[in-house]
Amino acid sequence: MASAAAIELAHVTKRYGKVVALDDLSLSVTSGVFGFLGPNGAGKTTAVKILVGLARPTAGGGSLAGASFGSKASLHKIGYLPELFRYQSWLTAREVLALHCELAGLERSRWAAEIDRILATVGLADRGGSRVGTFSKGMQQRLGLGIALIGDPAVVLLDEPTSALDPVGRHDVREIIRALRERGAVVFLNSHLLTEVEQVCDSVAIVDRGKVVAQGVLADLLRTSSVRLRASGLSREGRAALARFGEIDDGADGAILIRGVEMERIPDVVSEAVRSGARIYAVEPQHETLEERFLRLLGQ
């Protein structure tokens, strides 16, 4: 029996006047860490705002944590780190967390232990008594992430969670995301930092101009690769035959690079080159990164 979707967007369209931010967008997330990727202006933050009820879709619908967008039933089960946030500079980190414990409906008897746990998780255990106004941007980002983790939510929405962090901070966030997955939480990671996404996500959707251009398990999306052939005697007809497998570029050293080839098709590429009369000296498969796949999809 299939698991109920923790996050469901069904044919969602969002217009701001004549501007279409989301265009018939559909996706479903049932488990693990889901990466929601796209260039600036692709509609990523608009989709998150619709999920948490900060914006209403022009058309379409869906659910978050088994309830309608923005409903109390939904919001009590989620944690949310927005892309842009600001906390009261005159409050200490503990006071900010206490405020959000109250907003989350936690019993007061749990607050102290929960605040200690959160501060330790996000690396602010020694700064709980410091005023937020004294925090660096990275420390405020850590505090924001901590607020999203209050009460062990079933679904955690993170909008650019590592944007202000140094390499150590990004590593810490990756470890937190992995720990959330281990305890069974669903994480919706909205980001344009593709190397970060590639390290933690199980599945992804790539959006451009409000439309999903690719979606699926990360390993399946990265099945394509490039293959570098060192060959001689390749005719014009042979090059045309190889172009059926992917995009061809000539290397500076005389090698031929074919992009977008599925790994299992590489033997077919070599056979086609030999059939056309070429002599093959080297075959060098090259795994395609998420960034390369992302750029190729946007280019198409």
By the 10 Å C-beta count (0-12 exposed, 13-18 middle, 19+ buried), 29 is classed as buried
Q: How far apart are CA 143 and CA 131, in angstroms?
A: 12
| pLDDT at 194 (0 to 100) | 78
pLDDT for 150: 94
**pTM over 0.95, yes/no:** no
Q: Collect the ranges in the chain with pLDDT lower than 50.
A: 1-2
Per CATH, the number for 222-299 is 3.30.70.100
∠ CA 54-47-96 to the nearest 5 degrees? Answer: 50
Could you tell me the residue ranges of all domains in the chain? 7-218, 222-299
Task: List the structure tokens of 133.
Answer: 């106004």
Task: Give the pLDDT of residue 297.
Answer: 66
pLDDT at 138: 87
Q: What is the pLDDT of residue 240?
A: 86
Asked whether 213 and 297 are in contact (CB, 8 A), the reply is yes
Tokens (6 digits) for 232? 């001689």
Q: Note the pLDDT tens digit of each residue in 46-77.
A: 999 999 999 999 999 999 998 999 888 898 89
Q: In what order do the strands lie in the sheet with 19-29?
A: 19-29, 7-16, 59-64
Q: How many CB atoms are located within 10 Å of the residue 167 CB?
A: 8
Given this model, what pLDDT does residue 242 score? Answer: 85
pLDDT on residue 1: 35
**pLDDT (tens digit, 9 = 90+) per residue, 255-287?**
888 877 777 788 888 898 898 888 888 887 776
Question: Which CATH code, of 3.90.1300.10, 1.10.357.10, 3.40.50.2020, 3.40.50.300, is assigned to 7-218?
Answer: 3.40.50.300
What is the per-residue pLDDT for 2?
A: 43
